[in-house]
Structure 1
């Protein structure tokens, strides 16, 4: 699939102006600076007068490009370069790598080739590459990958330059030697002529001429000695270059050998681990059969011992994100919107862009809106669109601690009492290939900071996978120790009375001799019931098997909250707001349905009946937030806003929030290149929800309410010049204006949630 998102018909573009043609190309290739800057390989075929640029990639983003028009021969066939200009760049070589700017070919050529978009290399813009024009990590190269070929080509280019320089040095040296030899011959001839002339002169002049000749000869010998020294130095440089080349080749071979050695070690480790796992499965299987025969575990628990509990994900009826969409999140958003529309579910594109970006952030997401505005429906429909599972967990008003969310261990029954939330986590752990979206519905019916704070603190750790201790490991150790004793006593009783054929616990107890031996071994009286004790052990064992003492939050899980704001609910505390993203909703009845239909129609998908195959990694990796850098434009903006406004009105705004914003902006670029919209969304997610204070309090010569009305609002308008194009509920400027208007009607009390 081409990475060009837009394909036009010829009739649509054939009569467009050059400026319009350029704009179509910019839109298609995601170009924002008004220049088509590329790099590629200039190749002289030596068979004709045409020299073309091949393997063309954009410098910004390093993506390959093609004309947004169905053509037999596109950019992959090469871009024309004026012959004399190309020859000058090649400089006797057959191929070089260059970066340059592309411009539209003359109109006559475009009409001739029936391609309104045809491009050529701008004269004077090309520059021969000495290194890759992009950041490139050689350690990530895969053998046979095109990038590997590019790096090798540039390496060959440098080696060819070095060889040319060496050849030129040797040629110059030979010329110097020839000149010196010629000069020497000429000088000797001159001396001999002078000597011959001196013999014909007066005898008393002969000695003087001879001395002069000898002095000249000394000078020549000295010059020859200096030349020999220079030649020796050049030979040493040549030897050093040769040794350096050999050293590089040796290091390359050494690295290759190390890589091969690591591959062998990895295979050996895999083999060793496979053997250990087989031994472990065999041991567990042996014990599991005994426990099943004597009804200490049921069929489901037995299967979890013997067979792999992890289910394989059925991907046959799914569209591959990697193979079909080539990892393109913009195209994926288009497909998801079209898929949901086909299901009768309508969301504007920007809602899906925002939600997918928040999902990939691995932060807590809280969906806020009126009842019926589509909050839980978004969780369920999005899960369906990506082949995932949604779990809606209703929050009860009486929840006061983490036990209400995760359950608790009952020491009397020696069993952990799990909740639907914990069961959803365990189910997700057993199906790591499937995305799970767990939604706490009406999250603020109870105080979130009471029942969710501990869990939220675990989610804050971005360095490692969050792990939750459900109960003490001593409890499970006690159960397993008691079970071990029971197994040993049953085995001894069976062996003592030769009852190996009995594998049913009830039938074993019906044997009087075995029953008496069992009670004696356990220290039970006749009044004690072995059947009841068997039931207690079975219940305790089921608890240990089904609920581990600790559980890690699986990488395929995303936690989402849904809240309504009314008189029956609680406001979110600053601790929750500081760690979560608030995504507001409006009723679907208020959406512009015609606009949504036009958006979907413009994508041009033929079939949108299958969900997208997105794995946990594609939905976002849990990693540290980007580092705070004062020189970063986003950091500078929010440092200024914090100093001028947020701190003055008492709104908490820390380093973590800015780093969350950097993470959001980096992820949002994958679905939309509009950085202004990303900042607008971040203000709605992280800043405005904290606006709950008394606006009548003074700050200098004005009140807090006057500061945000007269100054902050105008500052945001300048920062977001396109805010008028956003719908009211999704626009930070309009949301702030609404907050001000409501505060004036409420005695100056500022409340984002009112």
Structure 2
């Protein structure tokens, strides 16, 4: 017994030693592997890293090729824009040249009048010059007479002087005759007085002669001026002749431009006639298609009636034979869809409300005020425009704290507009499209339709299900998903959004093949043997809105929903005002026609060049900022913003209203995508956004609120937009 225990102990000791040896060997092997790994070259150690780098480089190359293609497409678009701008510039240049020609013609007429005035002045100067010449001739004649008289006086003085000399010579000889000498002396004294008088007269004549010389000099100066004036008149006559030649050339050019304008007007008239003929043909085609659709609808109803009669006959046969049917027919199951929901009974369908867009918005504002609801004109126009562009943005989401009127605005808007309104309360358990459209209950053997599905069937303008009488095809319906983010929107509404986005454009929606991808299937299968699926088309006459509360019980929206939505953030009120509603407020008693609604919608290319350039410039800056923040956007958002700006109601066609529309889109489309962005690494980019809003768009309050949101984000670390109170 002792030997057995001894052998057993030896065996245990041997086993323990073997385990220690194995552990030591494993440890030594691990150390040697690490030593060998450390001694391996870097290329061998980083082999997997090299493979990953190669994969990333391949991805970068693919992205570069994609970017090159996008750059080429952008270049082609810019070239087309440049060609359009050059054609418009040529037209503006021709118009400017025509205006310049008209101004030149007016200048020529003015020059003619000035030339006539100068000719009259020239005649007056010529008369004055002729009078001056006659006066100068008279002066010359007077001067000649005075010179002759002066010569006669000098001759007489010389004679008298000679005679005086003779008398002096004879004085010595006639000493004896004193009486005669005295008388001679008296005569000589008288002669001397006469000579003195002549000298005085000579001085007077000299003064007159100096005065005449001055007048002659003045006449010479006048003659020089006359010569200069004559040269100026000749120069003006030459200029008038040149102007007349220019006028003739400009007149010829104006005639040529008038001919071109007339030809353009004729071409425009021909195009208008062609468009009118095209519209007439289109109306005829639409009428024929409408008649065809009515015929098909009538055929479908007849086929449904035949099927019902056949089923009733089959039931009667079974009852006579002692058998019974355990499953309802598809027509009986779908009968629940034919029930007209209460939402389509208000407003009454009798009569149509045709009016302008401005009148409709005024009626809505007045209706809200009478109801005691305070919404700014900016919010009302933003909500209205968001619904108008449902081709580009399929949802209008009203977010914010509870109790700010998010549900009231869509309801009262629809009541004032004459639009049918259906409110659907979203439940947290919703997880599939069947929660909206209904489903077949296999236990009850019945299809449970929802008001949502019934409304879509009756609003379908093309009777895709074959169950509708198309009584509501030219009316409007606004569907509100109340508290839509209580459940994940992607679960129950994501497929629906994709179908809405797949709808063809309004000019192509009449083709059944193009509507196929947008049709929603409604499952009404009754048994395994009878498998029937109906489809309904959500037309452009159905608008979608949703409300969501910002609290811990709600889900956030995904990028897919944000890209297809305008998110209007309702902030908490700054101050509380007590508004008293009126005792009785009548809502619209006529339905708004869908055709009238479509007449308010404008294509994106309807914007003017300056408005388009302003919007494109803002979008380019936004694209740079969003790319730097790691939240880039694509063509879908770009086209949606362009459509919003083009359709924004403008009271006086002011530039400020275009800026307001762009500011709205930054708030509704850009800021929701920035939610959750880290503030510290993107602080400069976010402040660039605030500066863009303030400087380029002139929205000081909005820019300040973005700045305040950035400052608050420095505490939490994340950017979280909570809206702005528009007063």
TM-score scaled to structure 1, two decimals? 0.47
* Structure with greater helix share of residues: 2
Larger radius of gyration: 2
TM-score scaled to structure 2, two decimals? 0.49
